[in-house]
Amino acid sequence: AMVSFVSHDGETHTASLDEGQSLMQVATNNAVPGVDGDCGGEAACGTCHVIVDPQWSERVGLSGPDEEQMLAMNPEREPTSRLSCQMAVCDAWDGLTVRLPEFQM
Ligand code: FES
């Protein structure tokens, strides 16, 4: 299963999804620029912010309460924003597309 990360300037990086990882881990393992994951996946830094393609939002779900606290501080927050460290990937997400914000916090 593949996921596409689209940077703010329109560059696309694809990576394969490994079940059991978070989407942040997939991005950092594949050196996708724009996903830092500074806190290691604790929903505490906001450097793993992604904006889920609205077509996928229902399938991958919306942000939970811990994410909301971080996202609420983010000026680039959009309705389908997620912290990718809080997204446990599954094979059914093949073809998922997420956008990256212009700036990570
Ligand atoms: Fe820090 Fe996701 S890695 S909030």
- CA of 19 from ligand 1 middle (Å) equals 18
- CA of 94 from ligand 1 middle (Å) equals 23
Q: Are 102 and 11 in contact (CB under 8 A)?
A: no
- What is the value of ipTM here, to two decimals? 0.99
For ligand 1, whether the C-beta of 47 sits within 6 Å is: yes
Q: Which domains does the chain have, with CATH numbers?
A: 2-99 (3.10.20.30)
What is the pTM assigned to this prediction?
0.95
Q: Are 16 and 94 in contact (CB under 8 A)?
A: no
Q: 9 falls in which pLDDT band (50, 70, 90)?
A: very high
Segments of 1-105 assigned E as strands? 2-6, 12-16, 49-52, 81-83, 96-99
Pairing of strands 2-6, 96-99: parallel
Average pLDDT over the chain, rounded to an integer: 95
